[in-house]
Amino acid sequence: MRRLTLGLLCATYLCLSLIVALTLWRNGGGWGAGVAALVGGLGLCFAFHGLIERALETGAIKGDVEAIREAHKILLAQVEALDARLGEVVDDMAEDLHRSEELIDEVHMLETLVERMGRRLDEHGEEAAFPAPLGGDARQTPALLEVVREALTENRVDLYLQPIVSLPQRRTQYYESFSRLRDETGRVMMPAEYLSVAEPGGLVTAIDNLLLFRCVQIVRRLAKQDRKIGIFCNVAMASLADESFFPQFLDLLTANRDLAGALIFEVGQAAFDARGSVEARNMAKLADLGFRFSLDKVTTLDLDLQDLSRSDVKFLKVGAEYLLEELTEVDGRPVLRSLPDLAAEDFTTLARRYGVEVIAEKVEAERQVVDILELNIHFGQGHLFGEPRAIKEAVLTEAGPPPNLVRPQFARRAAYG
C-alpha cells in the first residue's frame, strides 16, 4: 500500500513539473527554461515529499509508542489483579488453616467424651452401666452397646435434615437435624433402637455433639452459597451441665460465633423446666454469643413466656395432633384447654410479643394445615412438607473433613454412601 502511494505521489510530482515546464516554454522561455523548470520542480517536489514522509514516519513512531504505553498499562493492571488474587488465595489458606485447627479441637473434644465413657464401662461393667431397656433382654444389651460404640468410633453417624416451611407458602425457612447410626452392615438404626443403651452411659452427649459438628459443617456450606437458612440442632442438658465438656463446647461456638444466626439449639420442654442454675448459666453464655434456643416435646401450653424470653427461647415446637386435641369451645368461641381464658388464635400472637415463634410439627395431613392456619401459626414441619433426608458425605467434606472420635492409631476409616 505504501509503495502504491509513493508511486502515485511521484507521478503527481512529475505531472506538476511538466505542466510548469510547458507553461514556461509556451510563454517564450525556450527549451532551456522549460528543462530547468522541469528539473527544479522535480527537485522541490521530492524535497517536499521527504518532509511529508518524515512527518508520517514520526507520527507512526508516536503511535507505536502510545500503543506500547497502553499495553504497559494493561500489563500493570493484570499484574495488580494477579497480585490481589494471590493475596485472596493466601487469606483463604490462612482461613482454612484456622478452620483446621478448630476441627482438631472438636476431634479432641469428642475423643474425650468417648474415652470417659470407656473408662466408666471399665470401672462399673457394661451391664451395670447400661441396664436392659424396659421389656428388653438383658443379654442383648452388651451386644447393642458394642454396636453403638463401634458406630461412634467408626464415625458411622449420619446427619438427616427435615425442612421447616413457612405457611401458607410452604417455602423452606429452616431445617431440623437428626442423627442416625449405622451398624457394620450399613443398616440404619433408629433412635428408639439405640437410645435405650446410649442414654444411661452418657453416649447421647457424644452423639448430640457429633451432630452439632455436622450441623456446623452444613451451615458453613450454606453460608458459602449465601443461603439464609437456619438449622435446629438438639443439645442435651447433660452437655450444658458437664463442667469438663462445656468449656470446650463454648470455645468451639465462640470460634464459630459468626454462625449464631443460623444455629438454633433445641431442648425438650421437660428438660428445660428441670434445668438447674448451672444449665441456666451456661445457656446464658451461649445466648451472649448470639445463639438462640427452641423448645420441643411440648406437653403443655401453659407456659411462662417471660421465662422463655429471658432464656432466649425464640421457637416453640408443638405437635399438630396435640394442638388440635387442645382445641375446644367455651361460650361458642375456640380456645385451648390449657388456656381457656384466651382465644385459640391469640396464643401465637401473645407468644410473638415475647419474641417466641410457634412451629406446628409432625404435620401429616392437609386437613391439619387448615386448622393450623386458623390458629395463626406461620411455620410447619412434618412428613407432609418433607421427610428427613440423609446428607451425603460428599456434601459434608466440602465444608470440612469429618472427625475421628478416637486417636488415629485406633481409628479405622469409615465408609460412607
- Tens digits of residue pLDDT in 204-215: 667 776 777 778
What are the cell numbers at 151? 458406630
Q: pLDDT at residue 142 above 80? A: no
Q: Place 253 in a pLDDT band, splitting at 50, 70 and 90.
A: confident
Instruction: Give the pLDDT mean for 189-199.
Output: 74
The amino acid occupying position 124 is H
Q: What share of the chain has pLDDT > 70, as a percent?
A: 65
pLDDT at residue 403 greater than cutoff 70 = no
- pLDDT, position 39: 62
Contact 376, 348 (CB under 8 A): yes
Structural domain boundaries in the chain = 1-100, 125-399
Give 297-348 pLDDT, tens digit per residue. 999 999 999 999 999 999 999 999 999 899 888 888 889 888 888 889 999 9
Q: For residue 145, count other CB atoms closer than 10 A to its CB.
A: 22
User: Looking at the predicted structure, is the pLDDT value of residue 105 above 60?
Assistant: no
Range in 13-27, 175-189, 251-265, 313-327 the model is least confident about: 13-27
* Cell numbers for 6: 509513493
Q: What pLDDT sits at residue 8?
A: 63
Give the orientation angle of helix 203-224 with respect to helix 30-124, to 10 degrees: 170
pLDDT of amino acid 121: 47
Cis bond upstream, residue 408 (ω within 30): no
Residue 140: which residues within 8 A CB-CB, separation 6 or more? Answer: 132
CA distance 405 to 195: 19
Distances (CA, A) of 308 to 269, 320, 344, 380: 11, 21, 20, 21
Confidence band for 171, pLDDT divided at 50, 70 and 90:
very high
Q: Which of 65 and 370 is assigned the larger pLDDT?
A: 370
Grid cell for residue 370: 387448615
DSSP for 47-108, written as a single string: HHHHHHHHHHHHHHHHHHHHHHHHHHHHHHHHHHHHHHHHHHHHHHHHHHHHHHHHHHHHHH
Instruction: Name the more confident of 98 and 350.
Output: 350
Q: Is the pLDDT of residue 138 over 60?
A: no
Predicted confidence at residue 410, as pLDDT, reads 28
Whether the Cβ atoms of residue 155 and residue 402 lie closer than 8 Å to each other: yes
Give the separation between CA 82 and CA 79, rounded to whole angstroms.
Answer: 5
Mean pLDDT (the chain, rounded): 75
Work out the pLDDT band at 110, boundaries 50, 70, 90. Answer: low
> Of 93-97, 344-348, 400-404, where does mean pLDDT reach its minimum?
400-404
Q: Which residue would you say has higher pLDDT here, 405 or 183?
A: 183
Domain 125-399 has CATH 3.40.190.10: no
pLDDT, tens digit, 9 for 90 and up, residues 10-60: 667 667 666 766 666 666 655 565 565 556 655 666 666 666 667 767 777
| In the predicted structure, residue 409 carries a pLDDT above the cut 50 | no
Does 399 or 8 have the greater pLDDT score? 8
357 vs 75, more confident? 357
* pTM of full prediction above 0.85: no
